[in-house]
Every structure is written in C-alpha cells, then in structure tokens.
Amino acid sequence: MSEERTTMSGFEPTPTPETAPFWDATSRGELAVQFCTACARYYFYPRPQCPNCGSVHVEWRATTGRARLVSYVINYRPLPPFDPRTPLIVALVELAEGPRMMTNIVGVAPDPDHLPLDLELSVTFVAQGAVQLPVFEPAAAAA
C-alpha cells in the first residue's frame, strides 16, 4: 500500500478553471456563486452557461453567506481525513440568493434536537488542504 493511500491525502478540492473564482472568494472569506445577468438569477454549481436560460452572460458575485437548512444526515462514522470519532453533519442548504449546495454544519451538537429544518445559517470557513472550505453554522452562533 502506498504512503498516499495510508494517509488518505488528496481529499481537498482541486480548483479548476471553472471553479477557481469560487475558491479565490473562499480564500478571502467570501462565498461567491455565479449570477446570470440575462435572467437575473443566481446558480450553483459553477458552469459557463446559465442553467435556467442558457445565457453565457454570467458573472461571479459574493453572496450574503446566509442560508437555511433544507435537509441533512448525521454521519456517526466519517471516513478519514475526517475524525471517525466525531459525528459529521452533511447538509443541503439553500442560500438566501436561491441556489442550494451540499456542505457541513459546524458549531452545533450533532443532534436532531438542535437541527430544525429551516434553521437560519451563516457561512464560515475551514481550511482543507490549500483551500478554505465553506461550511455553515447556526446564524445565532455567528452573531
């Protein structure tokens, strides 16, 4: 078994030409998604054409970083590089600007009693390899 496999490295996202603006924004502490100037809608994941109307007139815009909890699972046995002793909340959130994204919820006990649907969330960032990964925490905790 190679050293690379035993250390489980290489799990961090690798920026590509289409996703580099997203990772550049997270490195500045901003959550940015693409905005279509033709139909005035935000979308995610990164694509060169608007998924709503097909326009190529799109640009990157910083979001408010506000979101609400749409759905989640609690993984009680996450694989490395995550700590297998610490439950991981894997969530689908909806940004205030509209797009939904998969992420993790931090800053709250991994307990359904603390994770009501529609919970108001605020983005925060954790280092993962060379990138800053956007995750969310309860908005009250971020205040």
Adjacent-strand bridge partners of 132: 127
User: 23 and 127 in contact (C-beta within 8 Å)?
Assistant: no
Contacting residue, 8, 20, 38, 127, with Zn ion by CB under 5 A: 38
Task: Give the Cα separation of 40 and 133 in Å (integer).
Answer: 26
Q: If binding is defined by CB under 5 A, does position 55 make contact with Zn ion?
A: yes
Nearest to 33 by CA among 86, 96, 89, 84: 96
Contacting residue, 31, 32, 33, 50, with Zn ion by CB under 5 A: 50
CB-nearer residue toward Zn ion: 22 or 42: 42
Q: If binding is defined by CB under 5 A, does position 142 make contact with Zn ion?
A: no
- Token pair 């970083």: residue: 65
Closest distance to Zn ion from the beta carbon of 57 (Å): 8
Q: If binding is defined by CB under 5 A, does position 73 make contact with Zn ion?
A: no
